[in-house]
Structure 1
Amino acid sequence: MADLRLALLLNAVSPAVGGVLVRGEKGTAKSTAVRALAALMPEVEVVPGCRFSCDPRRPDPDCPDGPHAAGPGASRPARMVELPVGASEDRLVGALDIERALSEGVKAFEPGLLAAAHRGVLYVDEVNLLHDHLVDLLLDAAAMGASYVEREGVSVRHASRFLLVGTMNPEEGELRPQLLDRFGLTVEVAASREPEERMEVVRRRLAYDEDPAAFAARWAGEETALRERIAAARALLPAVRLGDAALRQIAATCAAFEVDGMRADIVMARTACALAAWAGRTDVAAEDVRQAALLALPHRRRRNPFDAPGLDEEKLDETLRQHGGDGEDDPGPDGPDGGPDGGPDGGPGGGPGGGQPPQDGPRDPAGAPEPAESAGSGEPSVPEQSRGGRPAGKGDEEREQPGGGAGDQPPARASEPFRARALHVPGVGEGAAGRRSRARTAQGRTTGARRPQGALGRLHLAATVRAAAPHQRARGRSGPGLVVRRDDLREAVREGRESNLVLFVVDASGSMAARKRMGAVKGAVLSLLLDAYQRRDKVGLVTFRGSGAEVVLPPTSSVDAAAARLGSLPTGGRTPLAAGLLKAREVLRVERLRDPSRRPLLVAVTDGRATGGTEPVARARQAARLLAADGTASVVVDCESGPVRLGLAGALAGDLGGPAVTLEELRADAVTSLVRSVRSPHHNHRRAA
């Protein structure tokens, strides 16, 4: 947890660093650590009575509560505002009373969370689950330092500069690259595997549950010392000098790791300066640059959604050595601070007043330092992670497969992924916002109008005027204005895109065991997974081989977890196609109960064969017809190859009520045309009749 504490403290010292993204497994106190930051932030001066926290020394000239007269400010603690994952757009940016704006001609604006977070911390728990339209608003506010609320020509603007802190569990899905880049630093956390540390965690939690006030009082002294050290580092920060040697190392490191854009260079420079100030120095050392790289670059190194964040430390050290310069601007770890102990997180000479600095972590009542907290460590002490976000181990390679045996083939390596053609679920849904199928959503193009259902959302101005116009004479209208009543209001009906549940049913039997063939199949599924990641879908993976079928990955938002399971998938054995389809039907039945608004798309990857003569084939076709009767939209990816083809996958697609496409047709740049939308099973049945 040392890196997590350090990253949060550096942002407290220098908010310009740009926030922290905390990644880690569940139950590792990510949220607890972030919420503890609020008590350590210095107080802010605000204009008395301003709902938008204007600085009295530099008030916002466009503040909706302004203009503000010159005068003394009022001090208040820095706010930590939490953005719930399911928040509405109006809750985030604020709500404008359209009814009063039309009928009374006044701007009645209720500030949202972006206004409350101005000059404070905006904390998003489970940030990877945040809806896309809220992510877009966050990106706009973070880029411009202001929030705009537009409603049918009526607009409000206010300043919104905040420290963005997010926590996430990678198993539940990854972030969009645009939002990922907005976090200045990233930290990977994991629970300690040391029994003594785990025991101490339990002791403290039980002590807090028994008497919260006494527990807080026990650590009040350490908290005060830490707050004072933050204030001292903030005061020292303007005096910190970033020499040419350190700046050259920063630029060379970002270039060597091929990060996109220039934000990484700027964040590294600010982080290195904050590290020097935190250590009580006025010159940036090489170790500051190294620590800044470890915190600022891992999440910017992802070249595709399935790459785990990380940094090659040997390459980093080599780059720093090559571009270290002559050392005139860089005191280095053995400079005036007295050796390596004068590092970025404390040590001799590192405190605000010289001498031994206060400990980062609290001590026990006897005064002994905590055994688990490595204050000066610059390297994350987390176990190696698999590509699915879990600790690497034998679980993926040695997963027990149904019917596994001596005939199993080792996992084939997936071929190079490609850009897959889009597949859509027919009709218009009402599921979670995404980028795949048509749906009625809060965002998108306007397709009609209706009476408001609850609070007025997006006003349909033309429909409102049409509703009010016939009644103007009866309402005694005498001037140029329009007399509007509540019954006249109409809200816009919008059509956008939704995300779907894409359930893959993959044939992993002996008929697919040829390594080149299975590699091509895995490459195709990986390409569809990339497409699902970009379209914000949930995904699931069912495989069938040997004597039955298995849910390798229950439906999840973690597309990279599906890719990891796919990569370790062995092949071999018989081909129980019917079992695979029936298992998929059961998975979809359960998911309909959990999330009824999310429509499914079944992708069966098979050559259509079923082991054991005509009876297994008949059972498979019967299972397919059951899925079609459930209204499940399906597509069959035909993996059959060779000069002689039986066409079994095409027959299966007919029973499922969807199209069959070959691996070649699945490519977006294929010459062969492909129907983009999956046809409705009921529509296909009517045509067949």
Structure 2
Amino acid sequence: MSTPYPFTAVVGQSDLRLALLLNAVSPAVGGVLVRGEKGTAKSTAVRALSALLPQVDVVPGCRFSCAPGAPDPACPDGPHEPGPGTARPARMVELPVGASEDRLVGALDIERALAEGVKAFEPGLLADAHRGILYVDEVNLLHDHLIDLLLDAAAMGASYVEREGVSVRHAARFLLVGTMNPEEGELRPQLLDRFGLTVEVAASREPAQRVEVVRRRLAYEDDPAGFASRWADDEREIRARVVAARALLPKVVLGDTSLLRIAATCAGFEVDGMRADIVMARTATALAAWAGRTEVRKEDVRQAALLALPHRRRRNPFDAPGLDEDQLDRILDGFPDDEPEPDPEPEPEPGGPDDNGDGPDGGGQRPPQDGGPDQPSEAPPAEPGQEPRPDTGSPAQDPEPARADAPADSPAAGAPEQAPVRAAEPFRTKVLSVPGLGEGAAGRRSRARTAHGRTTGSQRPRGQLTKLHLAATVQAAAPHQKARGRNGRGLVVRKDDLRQATREGREGNLVLFLVDASGSMAARQRMSAVKGAVLSLLLDAYQRRDKVGLITFRGRGAELALPPTSSVDAAAARLEQLPTGGRTPLAAGLLKAHEVLRIERLRDPSRRPLLVVVTDGRATSAGELGGDPRELSGRSARMLAAQGLTSVVVDCETGPVRLGLAGALAADLGGPAVTLDGLRADSLAGLVNNVRTASDTSRRAA
């Protein structure tokens, strides 16, 4: 086993280390979710924590790590006789993103259970992590049903396996730690709430700190054992402090004033539910124990709020997590401070004496104690575009010339680039789904064959049996009972009789947005409404666990503004900064969508796409393709339809006189057209059926 990177050698990252240590002191805090960009020492710090946890005493031979003094009465390996235990280090168990449900909770040997009537149970990762750490890297990429099982076990302290009338329960109390990169997608708000604390980490922009990170990392890779030995004293000191804080924790008093501050803080920030209050109380108590005190003070409540509340204030995926510290101070200062004054000597920071830099993989969100502020510099604001000018007959910014006598919004005119406008308020949309039955990643949009859902039939198992179809198994075995010499009440079942249940649920799709950003869309009121509609569809895609992509077209071509990703908020950010102007190369946009979908089909063939075209349907430029713009766009649309692509056209044309070009484009694509007003949930009745009908018609015609 390789030598882990020492916890105390992590440079900087004070909030991350403090959150991990507080959970080591009091696992009841509820775990930690670490959010940050790649290369910010998230995984390194988590893996290093296990060396600081005290050893645990276990019953010899128990696969579920029962404590000798208080064994689990329902332990599958029990009952356990009283006796001395065996000490072993606390485990850190990693849950891979691609793990199966059986690997997480354990599996029953269905064949032995039916044929022999025994509970042959193979423990899963939850059993291995009991009384230790369960670490989930890239937790935002974990399937929803695994996250539900994981968080239920963390909340109840036990894992339950129910399979065809056979039940197994075992204790599963562990420190849950998840890491994620927000660029790859967010967790659902209700799942975020189940993590006790959340820490945001970012890479340092201070050269001296980055140099120290590189120096320590290279020294560790050259000689892991020697590097760890240089930090052994600091590791022992932190380990002893964790043990002392655990012993002190039951003696810490949480006074009425502190409880009022906690309740007022959660109410002041409009946090949903009561879990935040409980987590804050436990965190403040752990902070006091970590500092060696037996009473909770105002600074403990403040620090607990900074760790426990930011992720609970998000109302939608486009809200950045965070907490207004000025508002927090005003709330806390509204109560009389009748608690003892802080000690004159400051408490030492967790993490060793050399706490002045960045993480070993390049990240730190706090400045060094002696180096002054270390705030990442904000990106410069986007260069404002040119404001609309009166029509003077001058050429547009697009390279193609425009007729001087054409109106600014006519198909023949090029328009100057406009500054980005803000999106209108998002609204709830109707569900757009892909027809048929897919087999893609679990989600909430289109029908699919999944591991979870309603049972629709049975089949012979391919590989290991996971979901037994009991009736089908009995039906397959029944005709052979006489030939097998059945002479009792039991059913003689063989492996060939076993049947796997087939189930139907929902899948997530790839929703590719093709947005017209040409001059005909440049009217500020129209573009604001268009962005609001796309933002509404993005919010719907987030809730349905889709991947999203964004293509824009204007001027002479199309641009992939955002490659397909699970990060819906990244798509919203790109949309917010989208400028408009120039001619309308509709064909270039459709061909770009064809190329993006072709590549994604190779990467993830099971994820079915849905194309959402947001345009008024005008095609005024062939761009670099040459030829008639309308003919090119119609030909490109029919090529996409011939491939069986499901599409929806959002018609952005406004005004009393409408040309109906978006409807013609929708007919070529084989999908429905819907207006911006019709996209709302209360006025879009029957759109799903229209999508299916149009797609089926297109396939029959092809």
Q: What RMSD in Å do the two structures reach over aligned CA positions? A: 2.4
1:345 equivalent to 2:349? Answer: yes
Deviations 1:267-325 (A, max 9, x none): 111111111111122221211111111111100110111101000011001111112x2
Equivalent residue number for residue 550 of structure 2: 541
Alignment partners' CA distance in 1, 2:263 and 2:40: 34
The code of the aligned residue for 2:346 comes to G
Question: Following TM superposition, by how much is the alpha carbon of 1:394 offset from its aligned partner in structure 2, in angstroms?
Answer: 4.0
**Do the aligned residues in 2 keep the contact of 1:631 with 1:681 (CA within 8 Å)?**
no
1:668 equivalent to 2:681? Answer: yes
| Matched ranges for 1:148-187 at <5 A | 148-187=160-199
Question: Following TM superposition, by how much is the alpha carbon of 1:342 offset from its aligned partner in structure 2, in angstroms?
Answer: 2.4
Of 460, 465, 481, 1:451 maps to: 460
**Do the aligned residues in 1 keep the contact of 2:514 with 2:593 (CA within 8 Å)?**
yes
Deviates more, 1:227-236 or 1:122-131: 227-236
1:304 equivalent to 2:316? Answer: yes
Question: Following TM superposition, by how much is the alpha carbon of 1:188 offset from its aligned partner in structure 2, in angstroms?
Answer: 0.6
Equivalent residue number for residue 325 of structure 2: 313
Distance 1:487 1:182, change over 3 A: same
Question: Following TM superposition, by how much is the alpha carbon of 1:249 offset from its aligned partner in structure 2, in angstroms?
Answer: 1.0
Alignment partners' CA distance in 2, 1:381 and 1:156: 52
Of 244, 247, 251, 1:235 maps to: 247
Alignment partners' CA distance in 1, 2:690 and 2:484: 50
Alignment partners' CA distance in 2, 1:309 and 1:155: 41
1:488 equivalent to 2:492? Answer: no
Deviates more, 1:138-147 or 1:430-439: 138-147
Of 470, 475, 483, 2:479 maps to: 470
Question: Following TM superposition, by how much is the alpha carbon of 1:513 offset from its aligned partner in structure 2, in angstroms?
Answer: 0.9
Distance 1:373 1:663, change over 3 A: closer
The code of the aligned residue for 1:509 comes to S
Secondary structure of the equivalent of 1:60?
coil
Equivalent residue number for residue 48 of structure 1: 60
The code of the aligned residue for 1:456 comes to L
**Do the aligned residues in 1 keep the contact of 2:473 with 2:498 (CA within 8 Å)?**
yes
| Matched ranges for 1:342-491 at <5 A | 342-343=346-347, 345=349, 359=352, 361=354, 383=376, 392-394=379-381, 407-491=416-500
Equivalent residue number for residue 505 of structure 1: 514
Of 653, 673, 678, 2:666 maps to: 653
Equivalent residue number for residue 390 of structure 2: none
Of 635, 652, 667, 1:639 maps to: 652
Alignment partners' CA distance in 2, 1:671 and 1:633: 18
Of 221, 234, 237, 2:233 maps to: 221
Secondary structure of the equivalent of 2:237?
helix
Question: Following TM superposition, by how much is the alpha carbon of 1:454 offset from its aligned partner in structure 2, in angstroms?
Answer: 0.6
* Structure 1: stretches of 5+ with no match in the other structure: 347-357, 365-370, 385-390
Deviates more, 1:211-220 or 1:164-173: 211-220
**Do the aligned residues in 2 keep the contact of 1:197 with 1:372 (CA within 8 Å)?**
no
1:103 equivalent to 2:107? Answer: no
Alignment partners' CA distance in 2, 1:682 and 1:419: 24
Of 86, 90, 93, 1:81 maps to: 93
Alignment partners' CA distance in 1, 2:328 and 2:80: 50
* Structure 2: stretches of 5+ with no match in the other structure: 1-12, 358-363, 386-396, 400-413
Equivalent residue number for residue 354 of structure 1: none
Of 612, 616, 635, 2:629 maps to: 616
Alignment partners' CA distance in 1, 2:367 and 2:684: 59
Of 69, 72, 81, 1:69 maps to: 81
Alignment partners' CA distance in 2, 1:392 and 1:130: 32
Alignment partners' CA distance in 2, 1:676 and 1:158: 47
Alignment partners' CA distance in 2, 1:478 and 1:599: 52
**Do the aligned residues in 2 keep the contact of 1:2 with 1:375 (CA within 8 Å)?**
no
| Matched ranges for 1:239-318 at <5 A | 239-318=251-330
Secondary structure of the equivalent of 1:553?
strand
Distance 1:121 1:676, change over 3 A: farther
The code of the aligned residue for 1:675 comes to V
The code of the aligned residue for 1:524 comes to A
Distance 1:376 1:65, change over 3 A: farther
Alignment partners' CA distance in 2, 1:655 and 1:406: 27
Deviations 1:540-573 (A, max 9, x none): 0000111211111000000011011111111111
Equivalent residue number for residue 407 of structure 2: none
Equivalent residue number for residue 406 of structure 2: none
**Do the aligned residues in 2 keep the contact of 1:3 with 1:380 (CA within 8 Å)?**
no
The alignment-based identity, stated in percent, is: 76
Of 581, 597, 600, 2:606 maps to: 597
Question: Following TM superposition, by how much is the alpha carbon of 1:235 offset from its aligned partner in structure 2, in angstroms?
Answer: 1.6
Alignment partners' CA distance in 2, 1:509 and 1:139: 47
The code of the aligned residue for 1:66 comes to G
Total equivalences in the alignment: 655
Alignment partners' CA distance in 1, 2:305 and 2:664: 56
Equivalent residue number for residue 193 of structure 1: 205
Question: Following TM superposition, by how much is the alpha carbon of 1:361 offset from its aligned partner in structure 2, in angstroms?
Answer: 4.3
**Do the aligned residues in 2 keep the contact of 1:268 with 1:292 (CA within 8 Å)?**
yes
Distance 1:141 1:168, change over 3 A: same
Of 524, 542, 552, 1:515 maps to: 524
TM-score, normalising length from structure 1? Answer: 0.91
Distance 1:50 1:562, change over 3 A: same
Question: Following TM superposition, by how much is the alpha carbon of 1:233 offset from its aligned partner in structure 2, in angstroms?
Answer: 1.6
Equivalent residue number for residue 141 of structure 2: 129
Alignment partners' CA distance in 2, 1:381 and 1:231: 33
Alignment partners' CA distance in 1, 2:673 and 2:367: 58
Equivalent residue number for residue 93 of structure 1: 105
Secondary structure of the equivalent of 2:451?
strand
**Do the aligned residues in 1 keep the contact of 2:31 with 2:195 (CA within 8 Å)?**
yes
Alignment partners' CA distance in 2, 1:598 and 1:518: 31
Distance 1:205 1:593, change over 3 A: same
Which structure ranks higher in relative contact order (CA pairs < 8 Å, sequence separation ≥ 6)?
2
**Do the aligned residues in 1 keep the contact of 2:644 with 2:699 (CA within 8 Å)?**
no
Alignment partners' CA distance in 2, 1:25 and 1:363: 20
